[in-house]
Amino acid sequence: MHSKSHKPYLPFGDQQTTPWYGKDILSVKQFSHADLEYIFGVAHEMRIMVERIGAFDLLKGKILANLFYEPSTRTSSSFTAAMERLGGSVIPISEVKYSSVAKGESLPDTVRTLECYTDVIVLRHPETGSAALAAKYARKPVINAGDGVGEHPTQALLDTFTIREELGHLDNLTVTMLGDLKYGRTVHSLSRLLTRFSGIKLNYVSPDILRMPRDVMEEVAEKGLPQSEHVGLDEVLPETDVLYVTRVQRERFEDPAVYEKVKEAYIFTPEVMTSAKKEMIVMHPLPRVTEISMEFDDDPRAAYFRQMEYGLYVRMALLAIVLGKA
């Protein structure tokens, strides 16, 4: 894990001995199986606390900078809710056009500014590697909330937590990822993170031009997971335990005509699901466009709305952990 020990900051009262204290969260590659068990345990406790009492003062007096250079509904608002349910507060900078970014300020200078006023920085940015760059300049922890087509580690953590809470375990599962596997950062992080569990089989279903990047597939192969690529869902749906549907990422296409050709490559309806297992779940990081029909929403296997809620507990856990309170 990226360490800030070269430039320590040790506010009074924090548990500076906890292993995650002051650390950045940049990539799922940082997490061992034991780390995941720990995070899921804390997230589960957060769930119980929220259900019982709603909010509590674990992070009272702490301030989060929520810095978003790309649109977001779930990630930004769940980080805000997470911080506020833990008694902390938030400086939201989602309209970067109203901040000094519009005057030409660099990302390193913006994070060096925000860390003067806050304890942790959540960053979403269109460039791959931007979170690592910000972390290099910041003394305070930086949490990657999506760096272009790179990674979305907190999403992958909430995705795996969702699978665990819904199916009860994370081993011996067939996970099928569907849609835009080329530009979708959530599936890049999720397939890497799933290598931490045993007996996982990965199926990738996409149009030819939106296949899973080779480097991600090579990393997964190095860990020995079986993976296979498909154009149609039919052949893999019956064996699937987790179907992870993604949106075609319009904003990443250089040529809008190419987007138009693939945007409706897969439309998922209740009829399609007749060949699926009864005990399985359908996930989606959201937002959806047309890829899952609303008629499927009432099916108990549709887990995507519950998945959003699990995101709150995982982000509460991550904030508590990097701020030395868990």
- Residues in binding contact with ligand NCD, number by CB under 6 A: 11
Residue span 120-149 as binding mask against ligand NCD, x where in contact by CB under 6 A, dash where not: --------------------------x---
- Given the complex with ligand NCD, which of 20 and 69 has the nearer CB atom? 69
Helix axis angle for 304-322 and 153-167, nearest 10°, is 120
Nearer to ligand NCD, 21 or 310 (CB): 310
β-strand pairing of 174-178 with 242-245: parallel
Q: Which of 81, 132, 167, 286 binds ligand NCD (CB under 6 A)?
A: 286
CA 141 to chain CA centroid, Å, is 17
Please answer whether residues 250 and 259 qualify as being in contact, where contact means their C-beta atoms are separated by less than 8 angstroms: yes
Query: What track of x and - describes contact with ligand NCD for positions 165 through 204 (by CB under 6 A)?
Result: --------------------xx------------------
By CB under 6 A, tell whether 262 contacts ligand NCD: no
Does 152 contact ligand NCD by CB under 6 A?
A: yes
Q: How far is the CB of 75 from ligand NCD (least distance, A)?
A: 4
258 Cα distance to chain centroid? 27
Peptide linkage before 92 cis (omega within 30 of 0): no
Please report whether residue 306 would count as binding ligand NCD according to CB under 6 A: no
- The 3-class SS string of 239-292 reads HCCEEEECCCCHHHCCCHHHHHHHCCCCCECCCHHHHCCCCCEEECCCCCCCCE
Cβ contacts of residue 257 below 8 Å, gap of 6+? none
Binding mask 22-61 for ligand NCD (x = CB under 6 A): ----------------------------------------
Residues that bind ligand NCD (CB under 6 A): 74-75, 146, 152, 155, 185-186, 247, 249, 285-286
